[in-house]
Amino acid sequence: MMHFAWPLMFFCLPLPWVIDRLAKRQSQPAVAVKVPFFAEIKALSRRSEMPRGRKAGMMWLLWGLLVCAAARPQIPDGMQEYAVPARDIVLALDISRSMTLPDAGGESRLDAVKSVAADFVGQRKNDRIGIVLFAEQANLYMPLTLDGDGLRDMLGGVRAGWLGSLTAVGDAVGLALRYLENSGAKHKIVILLTDGASNAGNIAPADAVAAARGRGVTLYTIGFGSPDDPDGGADADFLQQAAERTGGLFFMARDGAELARAYETISRNEPMSDAPVYLIRQKELYPWPLSAFALIVSAAVFARVRQRWKFRKGAE
């Protein structure tokens, strides 16, 4: 059965009449200009114009078609099943220059991270996932979305060194928290991955962890890289405390295999929502009245142009 998504638009139907009445109240008396050949002009105009009643009816028809299109007529178009996202997950990924080191099982650290993160995204079918990249500063790279293919494509384009060489862990967590403020999901999660200790940024890592705990956001932390890292590697003590204080888990991973196991453990700890929700799809019908409006206007313009062309040709 047809219905209208915005039925209140029909209150606009009398608008032209109201405007016309107001304009007539405020109109000034017309100034007459005497023309000696007025009768001839009047005769020609009567020939070219349609009757007043027909013209008014045509204008009301056009206005009615526009209002009908604006009210968005719809008809049901079958059922659609989907799952309500129960979790919003932000992947906070370190892309400092040290992530280019080729000590992750024969590939660079960042390449291993991108591969495992892409697999993780592909498994989380019913969760919204976003990406925050950080080094000397933190930037939102991908907003929360259910588009897993788009997320994997964006991950493939990430390059180490975009944001500098240092590591702003506090800023990364703070940006993820700020972005999750407007989330309506029941569970809010940040998966923080870094290969170094925090040595940059405006937000102290401890303050960011306290904020996450206060807002009910779970932090899963992953320290990535070789234990023989000449730069010291990730701050395992801080990462473990951050996870424990917010109800998450802490992992240390040296290569892609260990990193994959870490993400698998996170997935098991955060089961996906599979409660089906049924939505009745609606087929939009507004193109029909809109097309009728365009067709009538086009025909009227064509008839007017043709009439003027005939008039000019006859005058010659």
Cα(101)–Cα(129) distance, integer angstroms: 27
Whether 70 and 126 map to the same domain: the answer is no
The domain that holds 115 is classified in CATH as 3.40.50.410
User: Same domain, yes or no, for 195 and 259?
Assistant: yes
Ramachandran category for residue 99: left, alpha or beta (phi over 0 → left; psi -120 to 50 → alpha): alpha
- Considering the domain architecture, whether residues 248 and 109 belong to the same structural domain is answered as yes
- pLDDT tens for the 316 residues of the chain, in order: 788 989 999 999 999 888 888 887 776 665 565 655 455 545 555 555 567 778 788 888 989 999 999 999 998 887 665 555 678 999 999 999 999 988 877 789 999 999 999 999 999 888 899 999 999 999 999 999 988 999 999 999 999 989 988 999 999 999 999 999 988 888 999 999 999 899 999 999 999 999 999 999 999 999 998 766 767 789 999 999 999 999 999 999 988 999 999 999 999 999 876 656 566 778 899 899 999 999 998 988 888 788 778 767 766 6
Place of tokens 């220059």: 97
Beta strand 138-145 with 73-83 is: unpaired
Look up the domain containing 304 and give its range.
3-77+297-315
Give this prediction's pTM: 0.63
| Residue 230, in any domain of the structure | yes
Cβ neighbours of residue 69 under 8 Å, at least 6 residues apart?
A: 286, 287, 289, 290, 293
Q: Are residues 253 and 133 in the same domain?
A: yes
Q: Tell me the residue length of the chain.
A: 316
- Residue at 67 is within a domain: yes
Contact by Cβ (8 Å): 89, 127 = yes
DSSP 8-state class, residue 10: G
Predicted pLDDT at 186: 86
Residue linked to tokens 């937000």: 203
Which residues, 6 or more positions from 47, have their beta carbon under 8 angstroms from its beta carbon?
none
105 & 164 share domain? yes
Domain total for the chain? 2
Q: What are phi and psi of 133, to 5 degrees?
A: -105, 145
Q: Are residues 114 and 253 in the same domain?
A: yes
**What are residue 126's phi and psi, to 5 degrees?**
-110, 15
- pLDDT of 192 reads 97
Asked if 129 and 266 count as a contact pair (C-beta separation under 8 A), the reply is no
CB 92 within 8 A of CB 132: yes
Strand order in the sheet with 73-83: 3-4, 73-83, 276-284
Q: Give the C-alpha separation, 285 to 297, whole Å.
A: 20
Pairing between β-strand 138-145 and β-strand 128-134 as defined by DSSP bridges: antiparallel
**Same domain assignment for residues 138 and 254:** yes
Residues 131 and 60 in one domain: no
In contact, 174 and 117? CB cutoff 8 Å: no
Query: Are 281 and 80 contacting, i.e. CB atoms less than 8 angstroms apart?
Result: yes
Q: How buried is residue 33: exposed, middle or buried, by Cβ count under 10 Å (0-12/13-18/19+)?
A: exposed
Say if residue 94 is in the same domain as residue 52.
no
pLDDT of residue 11: 92
Q: Is residue 150 part of a domain?
A: yes
pLDDT value of position 275: 59
117 Cβ neighbours under 8 A, 6+ residues apart: 91, 93, 155, 263
pLDDT at 23: 81
